[in-house]
């Protein structure tokens, strides 16, 4: 079993920055892809950013040029740097990990961290 712990959310003004971290612990695993989804009240869940083993990254169009995802395998950590934040970025952000462990592929989720962008 793998557990994800994420942190870094908070309240910031428009134009501000936040960094989200997601760290995996538990069973040994091989990462296929990891990143964040977000969901705001009344809105569909959307993929924000993802990174695959090997460094390939993917971003939803609305965050391109503002958000950067990176992985730090030594610490089983993924980091999302969010710059130039907008009110529409307000959401609960959920880290996810698609990984292989004990001969199985599974998706794991963090507990969520709230990002609020408001003046």
Mind listing the pLDDT tens digit for each residue in 7-36? 999 999 999 999 999 999 998 888 899 999
Residues 6+ apart with CB under 8 A from 108: 2, 3, 4, 24, 96, 97, 98, 99
Residues 6+ apart with CB under 8 A from 14: 85, 86, 87, 117, 118, 119
How far is 6 from 35, CA to CA, in rounded Å? 11
| Eight-class DSSP state of 43 | S
pLDDT value, residue 102: 86
| Eight-class DSSP state of 63 | G
Residues of the chain below pLDDT 70? none
pLDDT value, residue 16: 98
């Amino acid at each position: 079993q793998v557990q994800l712990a994420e942190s870094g959310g908070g309240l910031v003004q428009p134009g501000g920055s936040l960094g989200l971290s997601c760290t995996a612990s538990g069973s040994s695993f091989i990462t296929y892809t990891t990143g964040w989804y977000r969901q705001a009240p009344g809105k569909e869940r959307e993929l924000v950013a993802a990174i695959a083993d090997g460094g390939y990254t993917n971003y939803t169009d609305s965050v391109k040029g503002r958000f950067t995802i990176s992985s730090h395998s030594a610490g089983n950590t993924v980091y999302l740097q969010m710059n130039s934040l907008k009110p529409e970025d307000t959401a609960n952000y959920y880290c996810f990990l698609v990984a292989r462990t004990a001969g199985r592929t599974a998706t794991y989720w963090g507990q969520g961290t709230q990002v609020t962008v408001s003046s």
